[in-house]
Amino acid sequence: MGTIVLTGTVVLVIMGFGNPLYWLAAVAVLYLYVRYGRTATPTPPTGGTGTGTPSAPADYRAYRARRDLQAKWERRYERERGRRG
Check if the beta carbon of residue 12 is closer than 8 Å to that of residue 23.
yes
**pLDDT at 82 (0 to 100):** 79
Helix (H, G, I), strand (E, B) or coil at 59: helix
**pLDDT at 66 (0 to 100):** 94
C-alpha 58 chain-centroid distance: 21
**pLDDT at 51 (0 to 100):** 53
Task: Write out the chain's pLDDT in tens, 85 residues.
Answer: 678 888 888 888 888 888 888 888 888 888 888 888 765 555 555 555 555 555 667 889 999 999 999 999 999 999 888 766 5
Instruction: Write the CA distances from 35 to 28, 38, 57, integer angstroms.
Output: 10, 7, 35
pTM of the model: 0.41
Check if the beta carbon of residue 35 is closer than 8 Å to that of residue 27.
no
